[in-house]
Amino acid sequence: MATALRNARVLLADGFDDDSVVLVDGGRIAAVLPGDAAVADAEVVDLDGGWLVPGFIDVQVNGGGGALLNNTPTVDAVRTIARAHRRFGTTGLLPTLISDDRDTMRVAIDAVRDAIAQGVPGVLGIHLEGPYLAPSRKGTHDAGKFRVPDADDIALATSLDNGLTLVTLAPERVPERAIRALVARGAIVNAGHTAASYEQARAGIEAGITGFTHLYNAMSPLQGREPGAVGAALEDRDAWCGVIVDGVHVHPASLRVALAAKPRGKLLLVTDAMPMVGADTPDFVLYGETIAAVDGVVRNAAGALAGSALDMASAVRNSVAMLGLPLDEAVRMASTYPAEFLGIDDARGRIAAGHRADLVLLDAALQVRATWIGGEPEWRQR
């Protein structure tokens, strides 16, 4: 039976609409109807005046629910991570592998392939954050894992055959021919953890880089005589930039500068989440070192930021509170724009007829009340 979602403020192409019914059937949005439309053949669900928005898509999720992909690259871990983030409105994600050796990469890719084949809700592919990175901008990555990709690396990194692959690399460390090869084999390539000069970052863009991983963090800064990777990211009209809006990774003023510099739609929210999201424990182990969140800030023993304790619903709320964005635009940064970045906006990221019924219901405080993935609902208890 079809489901009619009624009595909500629905985010449509032109903004929120208070008088629409979303008809869900067979895992997709069958129609968006006027509020007084007859829906006699559907189960009517009253959404109590909440905000109904497209499901959030997070392209950088290292862990959640106590699981870290590097430590347990298994289908069960992928399922745990996806389930943990669903509680916070994420209906699509790329489990992210931090720089590691070839064997771990192979096992993680296999786990994601199997998770997708088994229909684990929300899993879209994998993000390989490294190991083709710059030691001077390593953050919490283990520089001992870093290397320049050869033909075998390129084949491995692009071996996921039933989902999306995002690769983050340092363009000054990776030959342009290797970037082109990754793109030719279907990977989306971002610059990140990079000490690239402006010229090196531009060369990477010309070779096929289309985005920047966690803008400002772990990359060469914008300066008066050396624009660096940040300058290249902000200047390029087509480049996508992920941003971590937690009030820790980037100052809100710097994020407002990015919003002013980039064309609308080119900034997308990411969490860079670690295992404590959706878990009761504030710490985890990475590369044999215990890392803990203190007052919500995740750092390793050397003081480097080590991912975040951020969830996507909080990122949306922070974008409204810290950056002064209207709710509809904050939501687009969590849903529509990531879908466009990944090239899946023909089916995800909008509430429109024909799109997948991946949805989030927010209450007046912008807390998640319910999610739908492929039309299947999950309600959170108050």
Annotated domain spans of the chain: 2-53+350-379, 56-342
- The CATH number of 56-342 is 3.20.20.140
> pLDDT band at residue 352, thresholds of 50, 70 and 90?
very high
Q: Which of 142, 272, 311, 358 is catalytic?
A: 272
**pLDDT tens for each residue of 55-96:** 999 999 999 999 999 999 999 999 999 999 999 999 999 999
Using alpha carbons only, give the angle 197, 257, 229 rounded to the nearest 5 degrees. 10
Q: At what angle do helices 252-261 and 228-235 cross, to 10 degrees?
A: 40
307 labelled ligand-binding: yes
Of 246, 271, 245, 248, nearest in space to 258 by CA: 245
- The CATH number of 2-53+350-379 is 2.30.40.10
325 labelled ligand-binding: no
What pTM does this model have? 0.97
127 labelled ligand-binding: no
**pLDDT tens for each residue of 265-279:** 999 999 999 999 999
In this structure, which amino acid lies at residue 265? G
Burial string for 156-185 (b: 16+ CB within 10 Å, else e) reads bbbebeebbbbbbbbbbbbeeebbebbbee
Examine the pLDDT at 382 and tell me if it is beyond 60.
no
Of 121, 13, 179, nearest in space to 196 by CA: 179
343 labelled ligand-binding: no
User: What's the gap between Cα 210 and its chain centre?
Assistant: 15
218 labelled ligand-binding: yes
Does the annotation count 272 as an active-site position?
yes
